[in-house]
């Protein structure tokens, strides 16, 4: 028997609602979550000196028993700053002992990476900006294999840049440009990333200084980026971004905190993140927080 008009309308509405629910469920399953389960437990903190420990940090495996390295405005050599390289970011070290610091100027078309070899000698490598690349140079993260490193840009970005690791990759030289090799394409934007470090061949942890909290539902998040493959060479890879937790924002002063560099020490499994306190308390209670799983 044919449906009466009222029944036809109810039937059409029910069919449309079912189709909408099915499409919504499929979309939710397909979209990566903005947040993931946090497995990192805060286990302590150390005061971060505002002059020498306020930008970044790196654990050094070679030579054995080397002290952790920090960067800040007070660690920039005079001969480097007088040439305009007046900002140093979050450094990193390869597993065989090459230590890399990222530098930037207030203006220009290049960035600089200052490298210390395991024997102690320093050298400088300049990277001419690729088309559309931002000038800032906040951090470097060397791949576990050592031949390649990632770097990022300030602001809201949907990519990370892959460069050959200066001093380690045989195709690099202080006398020639350090070129962009490829790109990590992120599945969702990140904002104001201040540091990243590899915890495995295809996993990064990153500290974000995002003040708005609109991307992941929290300000100053610790981010995890899972890569589709190990970065390197001319092949682009994809990165899936999730937020793990808000980084600690504790101080005797109120105001705007600034999250800085991050380091993962694979020898101890310790994650460390610098958080600079607001106002006068930048001098008294800025911290390097320690986490373990």
User: Domain map of the chain by residue range?
Assistant: 34-292
Q: State the pLDDT confidence band at 136, using cuts at 50, 70 and 90.
A: very high
3-state secondary structure at position 267: coil
pLDDT at 37: 66
Question: Mean pLDDT, to the nearest integer, of 211-239?
Answer: 97
pLDDT at 64: 87
pLDDT exceeds 90 at position 36 = no
Q: Which CATH number is 34-292's, of 2.60.40, 1.10.3470, 3.40.50, 2.120.10?
A: 2.120.10
pLDDT exceeds 50 at position 44 = yes
Question: Mean pLDDT, to the nearest integer, of 238-247?
Answer: 98
pLDDT exceeds 70 at position 5 = no
Q: In terms of DSSP H, where are the helices of 86-189?
A: none
25-39, 110-124, 228-242: the lowest-pLDDT one: 25-39
Q: What is the DSSP string of 38-71?
A: ---EEEEEEE--TTTSSSEEE---SSTTPPPEEE
| Strand residue runs (E) in 174-236 | 182-191, 193-200, 203-208, 221-227
3-state secondary structure at position 266: coil
Q: In terms of DSSP H, where are the helices of 46-175?
A: 78-81
pLDDT exceeds 50 at position 225 = yes
Side-chain half-sphere exposure of 67, counting CA atoms within 13 A: 2
Question: Mean pLDDT, to the nearest integer, of 82-89?
Answer: 98
pLDDT exceeds 60 at position 102 = yes
Q: State the pLDDT confidence band at 34, using cuts at 50, 70 and 90.
A: low
| Mean pLDDT of the chain, nearest integer | 91
pLDDT exceeds 90 at position 169 = yes
Question: Mean pLDDT, to the nearest integer, of 80-85?
Answer: 98
Residues in the chain: 293
pLDDT exceeds 90 at position 255 = yes
pTM: 0.88
3-state secondary structure at position 218: coil
Question: Mean pLDDT, to the nearest integer, of 103-109?
Answer: 97
246's enclosing H/E stretch is strand 237-246
Question: Mean pLDDT, to the nearest integer, of 267-281?
Answer: 97
pLDDT exceeds 90 at position 75 = yes
pLDDT at 18: 44
Q: State the pLDDT confidence band at 38, using cuts at 50, 70 and 90.
A: confident
- The answer to whether 182 and 131 have CB atoms below 8 angstroms apart is no
Sheet with strand 41-47: strands edge to edge? 41-47, 287-292, 270-276, 258-265
């Amino acid at each position: 028997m044919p449906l009466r008009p009222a029944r036809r309308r109810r039937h059409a509405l029910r069919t449309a609602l079912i189709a909408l629910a099915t499409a919504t469920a499929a979309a939710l399953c397909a979209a990566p979550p903005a947040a993931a389960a946090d497995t990192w437990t805060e286990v302590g903190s150390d005061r971060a000196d505002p002059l020498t420990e306020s930008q970044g940090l790196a654990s050094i495996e070679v030579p054995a028993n080397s002290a952790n390295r920090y960067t800040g405005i007070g660690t920039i050599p005079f001969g480097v700053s007088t040439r305009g390289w007046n900002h140093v970011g979050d450094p990193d070290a390869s597993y065989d002992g090459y230590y890399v610091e990222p530098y930037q100027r207030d203006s220009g078309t290049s960035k600089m990476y200052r490298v210390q070899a395991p024997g102690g000698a320093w050298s400088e490598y300049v990277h001419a900006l690729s088309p559309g690349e931002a000038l800032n140079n906040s951090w470097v993260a060397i791949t576990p294999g050592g031949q390649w490193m990632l770097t990022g840009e300030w602001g809201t970005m949907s990519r990370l840049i892959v460069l050959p690791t200066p001093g380690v990759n045989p195709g690099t030289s202080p006398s020639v440009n350090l070129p962009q090799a490829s790109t990590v394409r992120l599945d969702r934007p990140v904002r104001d990333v201040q540091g990243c470090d590899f915890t495995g061949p295809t996993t990064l942890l990153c500290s974000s200084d995002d003040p708005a909290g609109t991307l992941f539902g929290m300000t100053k998040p610790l981010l995890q980026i899972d890569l589709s493959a190990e970065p390197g060479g001319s092949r682009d890879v994809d990165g899936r971004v999730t937020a793990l937790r808000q980084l600690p924002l504790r101080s005797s002063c109120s105001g705007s905190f600034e999250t800085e560099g991050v380091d993962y020490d694979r020898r101890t499994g310790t994650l460390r993140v610098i958080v600079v306190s607001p106002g006068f308390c930048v001098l008294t209670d800025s911290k390097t927080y320690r986490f373990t799983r």
